[in-house]
Structure 1
Amino acid sequence: MNKPINRWVVLIASTTVLLCTGAIYAFSVFAGPLSALKGWSMGEIMMAFTINSAVGPIPMILGGFLTDKGWAKWSIMVGGLLFGLGFYLSGLVNSPEMLYVTYGIIGGIGQGLAYSGCLSNTIRLFPDKRGLASGIITAGMGGAAIIAAPIVNLLIEAEDALHAFRVLGIAYIVIVAIASFFIQSAPANYQPEGWTPPTRGTGGVNRNWLKMLQTPQFYLIFFMLFTGAFSGLMIASNASNIGQQMFGLSATTAAFYVSLYSLSNCIGRVVWGTVSDRIGRNNTLNIIFGVIIVAFLLLTTLSSQLGFALGIIILGLCFGGVMGVFPPIVMENYGPKNQGVNYGIVFCGYSAAAFFGPRVAVSMAASNAGNFTNAFYVAIFIAIVGLALNVLYVQIKNRSEKQLAVKQ
């Protein structure tokens, strides 16, 4: 007998927490004003975003371990509160190094703990709708900047970027504290009433992280996540600057497009997650990688605001799709019991993309008078690699399933 639990309430509360921690995707709205206020270079400031994303695997694995042990509620609450604290303290910094500690390390640790707990705990409650649940819960991360970007812009116009950090930090602490009361930890093998587990596939085979590392699928999934997240993180961290420097947009208009990107990111997670439930994860990824290539070609060939809008919308949808599809892929390969730790390790692929994506974009733009075109070409190549890896993954997976069927 499963302990009575309202999985939809847990889903809503967890999504609310991620609507706070997902404010990292609005960082490009902070970057320019913070540079002007403090006189720091864009490279120095963007390093804070890079550190925030790069430290993610450590707290994600820890949060995954806590979630796998039934302590998801604490992982989520502590992580969310740490993130809010890091945001608030970022409003008190007087050097780039302090920003790296507050926003990069404290905020990154908090975000990783909360994200891991929310995601792994929630999709355990939806074995019948993994793609949909993953899409909705990760939409909290992707959709956060829809709310944050215009508020940040208003707060910066009213005072400055440091003021915006402080106000949002306090707000996030309060919201996370309230939402945490409605979160319950899910049993490892939760089954909703009226649902029967499928008899085929690997979803019922629980492998820990050591056994996961022994499979060739792990390495393909890892690098596929890297290639899928690369373009999304490149745009997420530089959307405002791309709009202003390449398409002549004002800071206010560029902030609107940051929100538009986040809205697309949010919608993409739900849409592609649901689509993947119907046509399969890998068929979905084939489409996503192909569309990413088309989107960057639009950005490189169309110099109008319309071209920028199309590119932003399409890339946001695709980035959302990547983040919504991979959690179910990991669970379906290695089972629900160790999903927290397993996905935390796979998520290192995302963190690698977070380290390289923004840096490649900034360095190439700096050497080309603020033009990001060369960075877009790199992203196209990375997407092509991702498409090839997905094809290889399907071949290896099919071969493994045939061998398993023969043994049975």
Structure 2
Amino acid sequence: MNKNINRWQVLIASTAVLLCTGAIYAFSVFAGPLSASQGWTMTEIMLAFTINSAIAPVPMILGGFLTDKGFAKWSIAIGGMMFGLGFLLTGFATSPTMLYLTYGLIGGLGQGLAYSACLSNTIKLFPDKRGLASGIITAGMGGAAIIAAPIGNALIERFDVLTAFKSLGFSYMIIIAIAVIFIKQAPAGYQVEGWVPPQHQTNQGLINKDWKMMLRTPFFYLIFLMLFTGAFSGLMIAANASVIGQQMFQLSATTAAMYVSLYSLSNCAGRIVWGTVSDRLGRNHTLSIILGMVILAFIILTSFSSQVGFAIGIMILGLCFGGVMGVFPPMVLENYGPVNQGVNYGIIFCGYSAAAFFAPKVAAGIATANNGDFTKAFYVAIAVALIGVGFNLTYIQLKRAQKRVIAINKAN
């Protein structure tokens, strides 16, 4: 079925929402000033980022369920407003506990609800360009800090960090309210005129599995673990980029904020570039390249102490983190079908949340124990990426075996 719907309008409006909720990736700009003004330790502050990211599976599964049932617009509106409110209320935080409630819980629940609905709803409108659509929509999340980092830093310097949270939170609520007006629910069975699905996508034995059926396949566990290993390095840098720049590469707060924006710009570009590449090369071959580049980036960061080395390293890591976030949504859809994409991806997204729980804490803890030096944390990230390569190769081999079995069964 193909109803009259402007899918590009939905894509643009959904991306605008995520350009707001993606401000979580600029957290390192706020972390230092929060510590200085409120007297909280960096470990206490980073727990707020961890809560925000780690809570995501709960609202993502709920948002996916609502989207699959036809309530994508409501999910996006409620989630987006919750995120903006959480950001706004963070400006009134007087203790780490309140920070965890506002930025961590309220902001995290809202961000996950909006992200799940925006992504799951939009990708259903682009069966012919899943990688590209996933790349663009997730680029909103990755690119948000390009805007939030310099504006947040300017507000902090002119006023204070709490005023920055209040101003940005109020602005996000207005932008999201406007964007939601242009978002429409993806029609069931949406098809693009003149486009013929590839044969593997029309094989009903491989698509439209619900979450219970998904959990019974070996590919679920591999995808979950690949997402964890792929997101680990990106989340480590996203939470600590400004601190790494200042402590290891002697950058000023303003210059470090600029590099946070550079990281986010790379993150944003990576989602579109790698999403498009994965449409051509396949999701897993693309992921192999991404993980190889992650390892290269950390080798650069550990080998060069110059500002140039820092710039090259975080640009590569930004591109790769963006690639990871752009590759996995279509990978899930192609394994389990579009009908239950919202719930299925929400469950698999627990892999991202597990990485969000460990990566920032591991990095901050290692740096604290080594006088602000993140080098050993980079070694941990290299090891995690290597493990991810192993999971990816296992997935590829199992897929090849599955295709051989299907071919034999057809021949018989």
TM-score w.r.t. length of structure 2: 0.98
The 2-side partners of 1:2 and 1:265 are apart by 33
Match of 1:359 in 2: 361
Match of 1:37 in 2: 37
AA in 2 matched with 1:248: Q
Q: 1:276 to 1:201 in 2, by over 3 A?
A: same
The 2-side partners of 1:188 and 1:360 are apart by 43
Please state whether the residue corresponding to 1:125 is helix, strand or coil: coil
Q: 1:25 to 1:203 in 2, by over 3 A?
A: farther
Task: String of CA shifts for 1:347-393, please: whole Å, max 9, x gaps.
Answer: 00000000000000000000000000000000000000000100000
Task: String of CA shifts for 1:72-110, please: whole Å, max 9, x gaps.
Answer: 111111100000000000000100000000000000000
The 1-side partners of 2:188 and 2:27 are apart by 35
AA in 1 matched with 2:196: T
Match of 1:277 in 2: 279
Task: String of CA shifts for 1:326-360, please: whole Å, max 9, x gaps.
Answer: 00000000000000000000000000000000000
AA in 2 matched with 1:50: T
The 1-side partners of 2:389 and 2:201 are apart by 23
Match of 1:7 in 2: 7
Q: CA deviation at 1:201?
A: 4.8
Residue of 252, 255, 263 corresponding to 2:254: 252
Verify the 8 A CA contact 1:291 1:314 in the aligned structure 2. Answer: yes
The 2-side partners of 1:187 and 1:201 are apart by 18
Over 6 Å off, 4+ runs: none
User: Within 5 A, what are the aligned runs for 1:109-148?
Assistant: 109-148=109-148
Q: CA deviation at 1:203?
A: 7.0
Match of 2:293 in 1: 291
Verify the 8 A CA contact 2:266 2:318 in the aligned structure 1. Answer: yes
The 1-side partners of 2:239 and 2:19 are apart by 17
Match of 1:83 in 2: 83
Verify the 8 A CA contact 1:202 1:335 in the aligned structure 2. Answer: no
Q: Cα RMSD between the aligned structures?
A: 0.9
Please state whether the residue corresponding to 2:200 is helix, strand or coil: coil
Q: CA deviation at 1:2?
A: 2.0
- Residues 204-213 or 310-319, more deviating: 204-213
The 1-side partners of 2:52 and 2:265 are apart by 22
AA in 1 matched with 2:257: A
The 2-side partners of 1:143 and 1:405 are apart by 43
Please state whether the residue corresponding to 2:5 is helix, strand or coil: coil
Q: 1:203 to 1:265 in 2, by over 3 A?
A: farther
Q: CA deviation at 1:404?
A: 2.3
AA in 2 matched with 1:197: P
AA in 1 matched with 2:75: S
**Corresponding residue pairs, total:** 408
Q: CA deviation at 1:187?
A: 2.2
Match of 2:158 in 1: 158
Verify the 8 A CA contact 1:203 1:335 in the aligned structure 2. Answer: no
Verify the 8 A CA contact 2:134 2:326 in the aligned structure 1. Answer: yes
Verify the 8 A CA contact 1:240 1:254 in the aligned structure 2. Answer: yes
Verify the 8 A CA contact 1:203 1:336 in the aligned structure 2. Answer: no
Verify the 8 A CA contact 2:2 2:189 in the aligned structure 1. Answer: no
The 2-side partners of 1:127 and 1:40 are apart by 48
The 2-side partners of 1:185 and 1:25 are apart by 28
Please state whether the residue corresponding to 1:405 is helix, strand or coil: helix
AA in 1 matched with 2:295: I
The 2-side partners of 1:175 and 1:404 are apart by 49
1:376 aligns with 2:383: no
Match of 2:173 in 1: 173
AA in 2 matched with 1:177: A
The 2-side partners of 1:55 and 1:219 are apart by 20
The 1-side partners of 2:212 and 2:188 are apart by 19
The 2-side partners of 1:373 and 1:406 are apart by 50
The 1-side partners of 2:350 and 2:169 are apart by 26
Q: Which runs of 5+ in 2 are unaligned?
A: none
Verify the 8 A CA contact 1:203 1:333 in the aligned structure 2. Answer: no
Verify the 8 A CA contact 2:59 2:112 in the aligned structure 1. Answer: yes
Residue of 230, 233, 247 corresponding to 2:232: 230
Verify the 8 A CA contact 1:201 1:401 in the aligned structure 2. Answer: no
Q: CA deviation at 1:3?
A: 1.8
The 2-side partners of 1:135 and 1:281 are apart by 12
Match of 2:73 in 1: 73
The 1-side partners of 2:305 and 2:151 are apart by 28
Verify the 8 A CA contact 2:3 2:190 in the aligned structure 1. Answer: no
The 1-side partners of 2:202 and 2:324 are apart by 21
Q: CA deviation at 1:200?
A: 2.0
